[in-house]
Amino acid sequence: MSANSKSATMNIVRRHNIKAQKKFGQNFLTDDNVLDEIVEAAGVGSSDHVIEIGPGLGTLTKRLAEKAGHVTAIEIDRQMIPVLDEVLSEYENTRVICADVLKTDMQEIAGMYPDENVKVVANLPYYITTPIVTGLLESGVRYKSITVMVQTEVAERMQTGPGSKEYGALSLAVQYYSKPRIIVDVPPESFYPMPGVDSSVIRLDLYEEPPVRVKDPDRMFRIIKASFMQRRKTLSNALQNNPDTHIPREKTEEILGSLGLDLKIRGEALTLEQFAAFSDLV
């Protein structure tokens, strides 16, 4: 681990009397190499508007500010604001918003610099990774890419396909909107305090057009969620039992038959293309 960010972080923590808050998922990155790798993986340049979620003590924010056209950082924890004001004082291209990202109008923020590509870069708070990532993907904002540190297990879930136990609704949402690529695995020692899990940086490149055509994506995702809610059940049982879908068993079996699929298949065995085809026939 590099001494630079580690000692700078400990210095700030002492001077501002910061107590890392578990409830906000605060694990600050203290490894210069990893910080550099994230910025590099995101390919940040002067024509980019970077939105950072959870700047914390501003360690990653500073590096983003040096490369990006503009940076907007959204931080929920008020105790970080004076620290960020101090650490980022020399970067005129950077703005900090004190807010909960899940309640923030991302369309409005993304529209601030219409000539710049919008990229999300973050060391995410792990307790809300899934709502943050799915919220970004479904927001309708034309993000160019999303490069984030997440729990390794979650990164694997985003990237995997049928046949793996990690495959689920998150995999399909991520792969409908983007092409995911795990960049690097990061050990707990790269953070202060150390998280109890391994971490990975993953980059999602958002598609201009989704890789599969489906008439009603909302319906497809309702079907997907229902089938993974009872993943050990057959698709026909899971969709019949779920109040959001309520598709009669006979209907599901008829569609599966017309798609040439086993009538007793489980949702976890279907590809994105098959879910799309199924949804269009419902």
The residue ranges that bind ligand SAM (CB under 6 A) are 24-29, 53-57, 59-60, 74-77, 80, 100-102, 123, 125, 128
Would the CA dihedral through 115, 121, 122, 128 be positive or negative? positive
The minimum distance between CB 35 and ligand SAM, in angstroms, equals 8
The minimum distance between CB 130 and ligand SAM, in angstroms, equals 13
User: Cβ-closest residue to ligand SAM?
Assistant: 54
Report the residue number, 94 or 236, with the smaller CB distance to ligand SAM: 94
Report the residue number, 111 or 131, with the smaller CB distance to ligand SAM: 131
The minimum distance between CB 273 and ligand SAM, in angstroms, equals 34
| DSSP secondary structure, 94-130, as one string | EEEEES-GGGS-HHHHHTTSTTSEEEEEEE--GGGHH
Report the residue number, 26 or 175, with the smaller CB distance to ligand SAM: 26
Report the residue number, 7 or 164, with the smaller CB distance to ligand SAM: 7
Angle between helices 272-281 and 249-258 (to 10 degrees): 120
Question: Rg of the chain over CA atoms, in angstroms?
Answer: 21
The minimum distance between CB 252 and ligand SAM, in angstroms, equals 38
Report the residue number, 195 or 210, with the smaller CB distance to ligand SAM: 195
Find out whether the peptide bond into 82 is cis, omega within 30 degrees of 0: no
141: region left, alpha or beta (phi > 0 left; psi from -120 to 50 alpha): beta
The minimum distance between CB 43 and ligand SAM, in angstroms, equals 18
The minimum distance between CB 75 and ligand SAM, in angstroms, equals 5
Residues ≥6 apart with Cβ < 8 Å to 263:
234, 236, 253, 256, 257
Report the residue number, 74 or 214, with the smaller CB distance to ligand SAM: 74
Structure tokens at 257: 């038959």
Structure tokens at 255: 């569609």
